[in-house]
Structure 1
Amino acid sequence: MSAAPQGAPVFGAPVRFGVLGCADIAWRRMLPVLTAAPDVEVVAVASRERARARRFTDRFGGRPIEGYEALLAARDVDAVYVPLPAMLHAEWVERALRAGKHVLAEKPLTGSAAETARLVESASARGLALVENVAFPHHALHADVRDRLAHGAIGRLRGFGATFTIPVLPASNVRHLPKVGGGALLDIGIYPVRAALEFCGPDLAVVGAVLREHGRTGAVVAGRVLLASAQGVTADLFFGMEHSYRNAYEFAGSEGRLTVDRVFTPPPSYRPVVCVERQDHREEFTVAAGDQFAAVVARFVAAVRSGGDAQGLAAASVRQAELVAAIEEAAVRVTV
């Protein structure tokens, strides 16, 4: 039998969070956002080592807990945030749902489309919110871009391109361990893949793909993917972790071009600039700054309070996982 939520929040009361793991992203990005949110209370942080959990709670509050199972058993935890390495998500998200907890999990939600769909169905059946922390679509920038495209800023959309690359990581980084961290496609490539789905529609198919794999570790370190919609709009995606840092996207239209830099990881104070070029005319539009991680937390809290209604986000996560699986299946793999 499925477990009923152990501590569903009282209407208007803060959602009580437990943090399942002490990853760097929790320290740098998510815990500062969670502790600042007026409708959230961080009540516990769990680690396999109590001292590590205490380091987090000394800064962010809550009580330290040794062991993930102990946190899931806590009756004063309504929801858990899961920042564990990618290939551990499926197991612990499933355990959290069975314990009756709402779940906000780092991306990728799982390493397979089938597992992602199964967890989404499990959350829905239990009336629990399950949200994958793909944060960038929640920034106001992308609504601004979508509106400009809809109003003909560059004419009819013909093609889309997105890039996300980061410098070489230390050999000890979890991304170099495919069975734990998943590699560059699951950790970095997800950003341009999701952007293509957001702007080119859910019917994208893989035309071709190349994945570069490390000869010693077997980890995917870079890749290039060409997708196409049923209407012939193409999406050219490039990603990797052996490059200079860059994240950007661009749209090619029948009458112009729209480009934006720093689209996936803008700091909260950063004001993105949208560039529109039409023949001999160029304009720049500055978009308001925003914290996309705070926006995800607000969306998650709303889903918790509405009884787990986050189906729009859940469906996007499933389609994203399906497209990643199609890329993996179609890719030409090159050992480097």
Structure 2
Amino acid sequence: MELITSADVAAAEERLAGAAVRTTLVPCEWAPGELWVKPENLQPVGAFKIRGAGNALARLDPQRRRAGVITHSSGNHGQALAYAARMHGVRCVVVVPEGAPRVKVAAMHGFGAETVSVEPVRRVEKARELAEEQGLTLVPPFDHLDVIAGQGTVGSEIAADLPGVETVLVPVGGGGLAAGVATAVKARCPQARVVGVEPELAADAKQSLERGRLTPWPAERTQRTMADGVRVGPSELTFAHLRARLDGIVAVSEEEIFAAMGALALSARLVAEPSGAVAAAAHLAGRAPGGRTVAVVSGGNVVPDLLARAVTAEG
């Protein structure tokens, strides 16, 4: 199976100039050990997804791009594709699972996307149906080489800003971010460990790596975690990258995710959604390898009352 290369990530960096923010590492002197966070919640769509969506859209044949794009997403990728589509002046449709966070769906509409709500298990199927019926190009959230390469720019920036990094912690849902980050970091900092982080209630990628084969969990099982952005599991493509380039995956509890949200808000002044807090949670809970560590805060599109409860609990 074809895997992306560091050259693919470098090319994506050039395409994303002006579209994605080059986020700066934030030192966390309040945390145990040596920790920096990569605040991807500061992207214009509130999450790292603009990198993959922007790169994939820029790579499309102009005629196909003009016809419009479609995706399936619980929120962040949908927002990112809608944002990128608006930049190019093209139509965007997002198939969202029922129960997707209202704040994320509202943001998609704000960026000009049309949304179609379906049962979580039908979102991929429905997106493919609509793509064929309406002549739209499907840009999936992670199962795409250009998307993975775009997400990898998070890793190349980490390597450039902290070449002595020893551990990079990255959330794992569909696996596109972890696949891209591991590719970029390993190419530039081969001594560094790149470790994925999942909620215990949606640890399908961890189990898959342990078994040596893709082991999907049913949607009704992964729906239990508050971290909606990582409820989906990896594809064959992203799993191939994870097997080849990731140094392992650790799992964190719901309580640890919740505590990390509060700590990031109070001590780092960073708003993190549950999915965005899982990597920092692994370090703060002592579940990560340690050393000079960077945790990717992948997104900050959180329901306000959940954030308020996390801050109150931590305070």
- Structure number with the higher strand fraction is 1
Higher-Rg structure is 1
Q: Which has the higher contact order (CA 8 A, sep 6+)?
A: 2
- Structure number with the higher helix fraction is 2
TM-score by length of 1: 0.32
